[in-house]
Amino acid sequence: MVLRTFGWSFAVTVVGLAAAFMLWGWEGFAVVAILSILEISLSFDNAVVNASVLAKMNEFWQKIFLTIGILIAVFGMRLVFPLLIVGVTAKMGPIETIDLAMNNQDEYERLVTAAHPAIAAFGGVFLLMIFLDFVFEEREHKWLAWLERPLAKLGKLDMLSVLVALGVLLIIATTYGSEALVGDHDTADKTATVLISGLLGLITYLIVGGLSDYFEDKLEDDDDDDEDGEEGEAREKPQRGANGKVVGLAGKAAFFLFLYLEVLDASFSFDGVIGAFAITNDIFEMALGLGIGAMYVRSLTVYLVRKGTLDDYVYLEHGAHYAIGALAVILLITIGQHMNEVITGLIGVILIAAAFGSSVLRNKRIGHEPGKNGDSAQEEVEAKV
């Protein structure tokens, strides 16, 4: 199972580190290895959340996520995205931007860093919405019951997560935004930029998340109607898990879930790309190191789906979402204050480790053996991937 799931990641690691050594020597080898570890540590919670979404997709869309999705993650977000940011903010053409990144790396780093307030506001608000929608929703399993029960009751108020996110954005924009960091020691008034970027992050979440939820609900409604009709047996129905929720989603529902995953990955990659400049400003070293890490995040996502880990360790998803909430807050704070990347990575690891430990204790308390109560419908989908 491990070799089958992580095989491509192992192969990419060997090839990538060998290429780093041949191109840049031992120093380049070390830089790429460190960047890979940095990406994995910062994105472990991303893998857990990805797994909860990927488990809903059918075989075709799971493969799309693992093929096209990884190309977007590695080349799009880790290589093209920083170039795009520099090109837009500095009003430069693609060729000029690439030339700058290759031949004037210090200036390239300065321009990417100057764009950090906009990047952090967009990604911070997007991730904050994911966290808020999770904690405001009534759930069967509660990890921190003393906190989650009252929040679930508050969540019955319509659009509460949007109002909270807007309130947080307004506070950040009027405090940190007025003296936003645009360099190691330089600040500038980016209040308008932070507000606009944060609103774009909120709108992106509402559009992509809303459309995926709409088509998923529509698929469920169509399935229920078919069960009452004469043609119900003749049409292909979505599979359902033991909890009654649809799995094996296809068509528009799966497409928008795929978009949601890619935007989620982009939001997680922001801090990794910015943090990588503390190690190197070579775009190719950065893309190679972060790309290797992204491969492991994808492989871990698949591993969690195939093993049914989120069903066996029910608090893992909670820990991942709390880590997302922490990352969202950190991203928004970094608009006006420096934050060590080690802190960012450790917070996520600690929260997920605590959630895993709580899940193990729960399993012992109720006598649950992981892997014994698998979802047969989901297992059938996963076995094909």
Q: Which structure tokens are listed for 190?
A: 């980016």
Distances (CA, A) of 138 to 91, 141, 143, 144: 46, 9, 12, 13
pLDDT of residue 123: 86
Residue linked to tokens 């508050």: 154
> Which of 25-34, 72-81, 370-379 has the largest mean confidence?
25-34
- Total domains present in the chain: 1
Q: Could you give the CA distance from residue 231 to residue 179 in angstroms, rounded to a whole number?
A: 63
pLDDT of residue 6: 82
pLDDT of residue 236: 45
Q: Indicate the SS3 state at residue 181.
A: strand
362: buried, middle or exposed (CB in 10 Å: 19+, 13-18, 0-12)?
middle
Instruction: Name the average pLDDT for the chain.
Output: 80
Q: How confident is the model at residue 17 (pLDDT cuts 50, 70, 90)?
A: very high
Q: Pick the more confident residue, 382 or 335.
A: 335
Distances (CA, A) of 160 to 134, 135, 144: 12, 11, 20
Q: Which structure tokens are listed for 209?
A: 């998340």
Q: How confident is the model at residue 242 (pLDDT cuts 50, 70, 90)?
A: very low
Mean pLDDT of 348-372: 85
- pLDDT per residue as tens digits for the range 53-90: 888 888 888 888 878 887 887 777 777 877 887 788 77
253, 65 in Cβ contact below 8 A? no
Mean pLDDT of 339-357: 82
Whether residue 125 is predicted with pLDDT greater than 50 in this model: the reply is: yes
Q: What percent of the chain has pLDDT over 90?
A: 18
Q: Which structure tokens are listed for 49?
A: 């959340």
Please give the full DSSP string across 245-298, using - where no structure is assigned: -EESB-HHHHHHHHHHHHHHHHHHHHHHHHHHTTT---HHHHHHHHHHHHHHHH
pLDDT of residue 322: 92
Q: 132: domain range?
A: 2-384
Whether residue 342 is predicted with pLDDT greater than 90 in this model: the reply is: no
Q: Pick the more confident residue, 274 or 189.
A: 189
Name the DSSP letter for residue 242.
T
- Tell me how many degrees the CA angle 130-125-150 measures, rounded to the nearest 5: 50
pLDDT of residue 101: 85
